[in-house]
Amino acid sequence: MNTSSQLCKLINVDLGERSYDIHIGRGLLQEAGKLISNLAPKARCVVVSDENVLKAHGETLGESLTQAGIEFSTLAVPAGEKSKSMEMLNSVVEGLLDAKMERGDLVIAFGGGVVGDLAGFAAAVTRRGMDFIQIPTSLLAQVDSSVGGKTGINSPHGKNLIGAFHQPLMVIADTDVLKTLSDREFKAGYAEIAKYGLINRPDFFDWLEKNRDGIFSNGAALIEAVATSCQCKADVVKEDEKENGIRALLNLGHTFGHALEGATQYDSARLVHGEGVAIGMVLAHQFSNRMNLCDMDTVNRVEAHLKACGLPTHPNEIPGQLPPAEKLLDFIAQDKKVSRGKLNFILTKGLGQSYIANDVPSSEVLSFLKETLET
């Protein structure tokens, strides 16, 4: 790990003609207008955001765009996972058309993962494809969903089943805006940071264990953690942009996590995405141990670190009643990590030794889920 502390870091996502930069640091929201005007000097913009983000940071972004001479309007959507719906997608697309946006104009996704996925997908389909910029305001969005071009909405059949790969022109990640996050949302975002260490960077996981306090206090370690996470994801996306191979590793914990989100009907009062990922990563390690792939010391270490960060690690920590194991397996079978009916999981052979496991027996998964829900 590079432990140097800088006020701003720049990560490049190398995709040839569609390459773009991720700007990471403090106070970048005030610089957003300048960065955008340098990239697209004549573009008009529509800022797609939610009510909470606009209330906390809308004025700062608006002043920055105005000072840069950028003409813009704003579309607000309700906060929460339920905005990733066909109804809300239609509302945003019609809003972009009502604003008379042209293909050379920009959509600015200003918010957390929900807004980024929704606004990015709207940009992908409006006028057969508009450019967009990500300004993520949650930790989860800064280290994961704003990078890599995955956009989309949910279906009653499962999470993120309707969408498109559509890369942004730029990502602006201001770590100062994370100060307004609730403790719960910050912790949920941290789960995605821990994920990168557990995929294939055990040295990063070691560093996270030692620097957790600095990350959670918004110190220099936070910028380092965000930058390292973005670099990890950029490296994977460069090799496999559309998830035909190793990009699936980024889904560590997500197959179980998405099933739990579906089981709670995406009710953020019960479970938010990062919490589902945290539980899912523990379950993935436990299941790997059950399959004689991973030792119990690794399982315990992963669970202990996530617990120390205040994250849930077991389905019984989710408020309310969960459906039976058979129903959770149905959600897994609908998940996008399934290929021609075969269950695909990201399993692990040890700390930072994750791999893609194809054709996992559904009977083993069902038995594991039953045992887990009973404990």
- CA R_g for the chain: 20
Q: What is the pLDDT of residues 266-308, one digit of tens each?
A: 898 999 999 999 999 999 999 999 999 999 999 999 999 999 9
Alpha-carbon separation of residue 157 from 1, 263, 329, 335, 369 (angstroms): 40, 11, 12, 8, 20
* SS3 call for 280: helix
The residue among 243, 269, 241 whose CA lies nearest residue 254 is 243
Q: 46 falls in which pLDDT band (50, 70, 90)?
A: very high
- For the purposes of burial, counting CB atoms within 10 Å of the CB of 283, is it exposed (0-12), middle (13-18) or buried (19 or more)? buried
| Residues 346, 247 contacting (CB under 8 angstroms) | no
pLDDT at 68 over 60: yes
Can you give the pLDDT at residue 167? 97
CB 313 within 8 A of CB 303: yes
Q: Which residue has the tokens 């008379």?
A: 100
| Cα–Cα dist 109/115, whole Å | 6
Q: Which residues of 70-79 are buried (b: 16+ CB within 10 A; e: fewer)?
A: bebebbbbeb
Q: How far, in Å, CA of 163 to CA of 166, rounded?
A: 9
Q: What is the mean pLDDT of residues 60-85?
A: 96
Strand-strand pairing, 354-360 and 158-165: unpaired
Domains present along the chain, CATH in parentheses: 8-179 (3.40.50.1970), 183-374 (1.20.1090.10)
Q: What backbone phi and psi angles, to 5 degrees, belong to 43?
A: -80, 145
Q: Residue 145 — φ and ψ, nearest 5°?
A: -70, -25
Q: What pLDDT is attached to residue 42?
A: 87
pTM of the entire predicted model: 0.92
Instruction: Give kind and range of the element (H or E) at residue 74.
Output: strand 72-77
Of 91-95, 230-234, 241-245, the least confident: 241-245
Per-residue pLDDT tens over the stretch 173-230: 999 999 999 999 999 999 999 999 999 999 999 999 999 999 999 989 999 999 999 9
Given the structure tokens 């996502």, which residue do they identify?
A: 13
